[in-house]
Amino acid sequence: MKKILSICVPTYNRKRFLERLIASVIREASSMNTAVELCISDNASTDGTEEMVKGYSKRHKFISYHRNGENIGFDRNFIAVLEKARGEYCWFIGDDDYFMKGAIGSVVKTLRRRRPDYAMVEFRTLHREGTLFWKGPPELRGKGRIKDFFVKNPMPMSFIGANIISKASYETIKADLPERYHDFMHVALQFYALKTVRTAYVIVHPKILATQEGSVASKRTALLIHVKLSRTFKQLRETGFISEEDYKTAVRATYHNFLVYVIFYFATIEEDGCERKELQMILDETKGYLSSVGKYTFPYRVTFILIKVKTLMKAANLTYRYIYVKFMNLFRRRKVVGVQEFLKENKEKGARDILFDD
């Protein structure tokens, strides 16, 4: 009997986090293994991932494992796990995230009942209760409405676990997909899928905990998330998948909370993650995207000047660490963990120093 759902995990050197994810799947899917498979594509990990996963797959037949001969990058590994999946639907999840209790059964029930071509899944982060905050009807019909949803929600929909696509839709469009899409192949897939997708469904109750524990963030990666997503929309515009107006809407939405985001990361993260020259190039590219949609206004100009002043950022960092975290924790019931401490703990657990495989 064909399985209804493939849980698709592209992974690379995150053995400890991946094992936690596998445990969260086994906890629930063992009782429904005729309906669900866990499909893992390993991008040539060197940390013992292969031995660990094979140990689980011997005991749990619904786990399938494939290992690439070499690291082929995130985008190609994302496609590789899609190719290996045998379910009617493919639900992607990052290797450092995990499922909340009841998530898999609930999603399987929704897919069986609604039979959408595409589904968007709400998730919860360590810092926020939700991310989509969708207030409209859960069912979206028609290419225009679905595309409008994608364009207006680029940051939450760039979270890999927010996406479920029918395997039939993927099979129809896979020949058109390029090999690389700026490490955001899962975002490009949303728009390529519009060739065949006619119904989509928003699953509004959080199903995944996005931990953000698998990467040691730096100022470089904090900026690159926005830049690479903007590159993705630029390529989608150039290839005719979205209009100029859609491109501007998507980039504006991508940078909606950027000022708070960039100030916070530059003030709390000590590592640049690259040479200062490369960091400046990324900042310049960011300015270019902001300017292209008329968003590089006075507040942004001032912010870009301020984050270059090392003494000011150092003062902000000390204020954050010793006033906001340590001093204020004396009066909090629930203690706050500082960003630098959080990143240090993640690294000790085996988090990677880079966010993207390239």
Q: What is the CATH number of the domain that holds 188?
A: 3.90.550.10
Is 117 in the same domain as 206?
yes
Is 74 in the same domain as 134?
yes
Is 39 in the same domain as 137?
yes
Q: Is residue 91 part of a domain?
A: yes
Is 195 in the same domain as 321?
no
Is 103 in the same domain as 30?
yes
From CA 186, how far away is CA 175, in angstroms rounded?
15
Residue 263 has a pLDDT of 86
Helix (H, G, I), strand (E, B) or coil at 38: strand
- Domain C-terminal end among 210, 232, 258: 210
Is 244 in the same domain as 192?
no
Q: Is residue 154 part of a domain?
A: yes
Is 251 in the same domain as 107?
no
- Domain C-terminal end among 151, 185, 210: 210
Sign of CA dihedral 89, 186, 259, 223: positive
Q: Is residue 336 part of a domain?
A: yes
Strands (DSSP E) contained in the chain are: 5-11, 36-42, 63-67, 89-92, 98-99, 118-125, 139-141, 163-166, 199-210
Residue 271 has a pLDDT of 83
Is 160 in the same domain as 90?
yes
Cα-based angle 44, 48, 53 (whole degrees, multiple of 5): 85
pTM of the model: 0.90
Is 140 in the same domain as 21?
yes
Q: Is residue 357 part of a domain?
A: no
- Domain C-terminal end among 160, 191, 210: 210
Residue 129 has a pLDDT of 44
Nearest by Cα to 316 from 329, 298, 303:
303
Whether the Cβ atoms of residue 97 and residue 208 lie closer than 8 Å to each other: yes
**Containing domain of residue 320, as a range?**
219-349
Is 242 in the same domain as 155?
no
Is 113 in the same domain as 226?
no
Q: Is residue 355 part of a domain?
A: no
Decide the pairing of beta strands 118-125 and 163-166: antiparallel
Count structural domains, the chain.
Answer: 2
Residue 122 has a pLDDT of 84
Task: Mention every residue, 6+ apart, whose C-beta is less than 8 A from residue 294.
Answer: 248
From CA 273, how far away is CA 278, in angstroms rounded?
9
Residuewise pLDDT in 10s, the chain (358 residues) = 689 999 999 999 999 999 999 999 998 887 776 899 999 999 999 999 999 999 999 999 999 999 999 999 999 999 999 999 999 999 999 998 888 888 899 999 999 999 999 999 888 776 554 455 566 778 999 999 999 999 999 988 998 999 999 999 999 999 999 999 999 999 999 999 999 999 999 887 767 777 667 776 788 888 889 999 999 999 999 999 999 999 999 999 999 889 888 888 888 888 888 888 998 999 999 999 999 999 999 999 998 898 888 888 889 889 988 999 999 999 988 888 887 787 777 777 776 665 555 4
Q: Is residue 356 part of a domain?
A: no
Nearest by Cα to 324 from 270, 268, 272, 271:
268
Q: Is residue 88 part of a domain?
A: yes
Is 9 in the same domain as 89?
yes
Q: Is residue 271 part of a domain?
A: yes
Nearest by Cα to 343 from 288, 251, 281, 265:
265
